Structure 1
Amino acid sequence: MLSFRTHLAAVTGMDDFDEETVLEAIHLADDDILMLSGSLVDGSGTPSSDFDFCVIARSKDDRFHRDTFPRSRHMRYYTSGDRVKASFDYLPHSLLGVDVEYRTRDEVTDMLAAHARLYAHQRSRARKSSAFAHSAVDFRVLSRLSYGVPLTNAAAFEELARGVRPGEIAYTAFRTAVGSYPDFRDLVGMWAQGDHESALIAARKLGVDTFRGLSHAHGNTNRNPKYLARFLDRLPLDRELVSHFRRLHAYGVGDGADAGEAVLEWLDLIDLAFDGIRAVRDKADAFVGRRDFLDLLRNELHDGMRWNAEISNEYCFRAREAEDGLPPLRELLTAMTARSAAPHHLPLREWARGRAAPVGENDKSA
């Protein structure tokens, strides 16, 4: 009998289960690749997690169509038009569930090619990217391919997996995650109004995004923030930094009167996260290195710009993922609240000299 129990990470409080009952929910064909992945494999699972399987078929068959899908035992299934994408079931007398995605080998190959285009696009720009939404990439599937375990047809899986480049997946995740200047600018506006509670919500988002970026710089391919603290615990990071993040993220502040100080505490923590990103990004082969990233920033500047404090502060914020010695975010917050420029050493006008305005882009990679 096909067995997968040995591939599961230890989960405290997990109910026992019958493997045959789990496998009955999959509807496996002989030449399918069956991949096991998800939180029960990567070690972030809980007693209410699902067994996450992906069936990668040679081509579409009756399981891929609404009217012929063998769903008699399933509680629900997900479709896009006629196309069945996934099925979901619960195990009796257990918190555990069974999720099965249905893909074809061509679909996975096409997704890997789309991701390669997305990665090339993101390497050419320095801004936080929303191109993922246009890219025809299911990032969750790509992440799972980077660590999934083939339970059947391992040779076919290995052939397919040659196109999976975890470092590149981590970089596209980083580029869509790491904290952005528009988010910081929103925070400043709330702070300037004296709305410290809203500023705290914005600071928490900026902090989570930046720590997600830090985890991706260390090779994490999972974009889902719900287990971020668990991912950070596994990385070679300063334990005090991780503990500080966990405390602020999980417990926040006890009283609204403390919101302003908590915003500043978050900004200090975000500065430390950026320190961590700078420390490792040159060692991550698939990442745009620090000097190359600054070149991307430099190429955005041109002689026709109307120089003002806003432009100076924007590049002071954005350059910190690659440049040392920039003023801390507390100082940037103070300067922007006063409608002035924070002092920094970036030679923005020198970078702009002799450059024409760059051609616009449509934010699409495919």
Structure 2
Amino acid sequence: MPSFRRHIADIRGMDDFDEDAVLAKTHLVDGDILMLSGSLVDGSGTPSSDFDFCVIAQSEDERFDRATFPREDHMRYYTSGDRVKASFDYLPDSLLGVDVEYWTVQSISDMLAAHRRLYGHMTSRARKSSSFASSAVDFRLLSRLTYGVALTNDAEFRRITSDLVSGEVAYTAFRTAIGSYPDFRDLAGMWVQGDYESALVAARKLGVDTFRGLTHAYGNTNRNPKYLGRFLSRLPESLSGLSERFRRLNAYGVPDAADAPDAILTWLDLIDLAFAEIRLVRDDVEAFVSRLDFLNLLKEELHETMSWNPEISNEYCFRSREASDDVPPLRELLAAMEKRSAVEHALPLHRWAAGRPAPAGENNKSV
């Protein structure tokens, strides 16, 4: 049986374990690729984390069928129809669990091909996208493939993942995280109503999304916000002050309801600072769409939506801060929207759109 103890990060308070007892839960056979990943490997785990294994078989066999799967060996198992997809059990006298997913070489190859198509789509649009939801990409597994350790058949593992580019995974995760103007618009509406409690919740969500995007710009492929604070701690030391301000506000909030308006504005300031860092780092990340290309995509998507109006101007101002330094702070944008007006900015969309045909309007595309 392979040894994997050396790949487990040093987790404070973690129980000792028997490697053979853990591996016995995987039902490994000759020819399988056994990949170890998850929080115990990337260092974000706790004493109650799971050993996360992925068995990649050459083809489906009796382990994949509900009728012949060794069900009695597991506390629970998960199926899709008659196909067993995963199993789970705990180690005796321990908080540690053993989670095993069952895939085939073909299914992994198909998913990676689906991600290549998704990445191509993501680089052709500027606004936040939920296209991943119907893309046949398991983002959790995809992230694990970028850092997972093949305990068996490493050469075969490297072959089937040879086209996997970690930076491209980070970009698709980034594109699904930041840039939600509808969220900011909702926040503005709550602010106008004086519903600061709801506006604070919206500001916190927008902040979490943006700071998650910042970690993706620095290469994080994990979309799960559960360990966002830990991923922020791995950013360069120069960002430690910004990360600490985010963590304190995100984790502990405000002491009193009367402090909510100031906290909302503080969130907006932190979001602006995070966007400024994103602008700096994306210039050096090959897989990220360049600033100029991003702004051109944004212009195409927002081109004079039927007629020029303050709403389109404000949306362009909000979204373009991902790539343009010449944007007013979100505080000013919020104040302008409170007055039902457009914030002043020097962005070129209005000039660019002048004299061009109006868009067809379908699927946010210009003609």
TM-score normalised over the length of structure 1: 0.97
- Alpha-carbon separation, structure 1, partners of 2:2 and 2:302: 59
What displacement does 1:301 show? 4.1
Partner Cα separation in structure 2 for residue 126 and residue 233 of structure 1: 28
Structure 1 unaligned blocks of 5 or more: none
Secondary structure in structure 2 of the residue aligned to 1:30: coil
Match of 2:223 in 1: 223
Q: Distance in 2 between matches of 1:78 and 1:137?
A: 18
Structure 1 distance, partners of 2:350, 2:266, is: 32
Residue 277 of structure 2 corresponds to 276
Contact 1:37 1:147 in 2 (8 A): yes
Q: After superposition, where does 1:196-275 map in structure 2 within 5 Å?
A: 196-236=196-236, 237-275=238-276
8 A contact 1:179–1:207 mirrored in 2: no
Q: Where do 1:107-186 residues align within 5 Å?
A: 107-186=107-186
Q: SS in structure 2 opposite 1:238?
A: helix
Count of aligned pairs: 363
Amino acid at match of 2:331: R
- Alpha-carbon offset, residue 3 of structure 1: 0.9
Cα distance between partner residues in 1 of 2:302 and 2:253? 39
* Identical aligned residues as a percent: 71
Listed as ranges, the matches of 1:30-41 within 5 Å are 30-41=30-41
Give the structure 1 partner of residue 314 of structure 2: 313
Moved more, 166-175 or 237-246: 237-246
Once the two structures are TM-superposed, the CA of residue 353 in structure 1 deviates from its matched residue by: 3.0
Gaps (5+ residues) in structure 2? none
Instruction: Assess if the C-alpha contact under 8 Å between 1:301 and 1:355 holds in 2.
Output: no
1:322 aligns with 2:323: yes
Aligned to 2:23: 23
TM-score (norm 2): 0.96
1:242-274 CA distance string (max 9 Å, x none): 100110111001111111111011000000010
CA–CA distance in structure 2, aligned partners of residues 354 and 66 of structure 1? 63
Deviation at 1:304, TM superposition (A): 6.4
- Structure 2: distance between partners of 1:361 and 1:58: 41
Distance 1:135 1:13, change over 3 A: same
Deviations 1:280-337 (A, max 9, x none): 1111100001011001012224456311111110000000000002110111111101
Contact 1:35–1:151 (CA under 8 A) maintained in structure 2: yes
For 1:300 and 1:33, the matched residues in 2 are separated by 44
Report the AA paired with residue 251 of structure 2: A
Structure 1 counterpart SS, 2:56: strand
Per-residue CA shift, 1:16-58, capped at 9, x if unaligned?
Answer: 1111111111111111000000000001011010000000000
Distance 2:216 2:360 in 1: 29
Contact 2:127-2:179 at 8 Å conserved across structures? no
Residue type of the alignment partner of 2:29: A
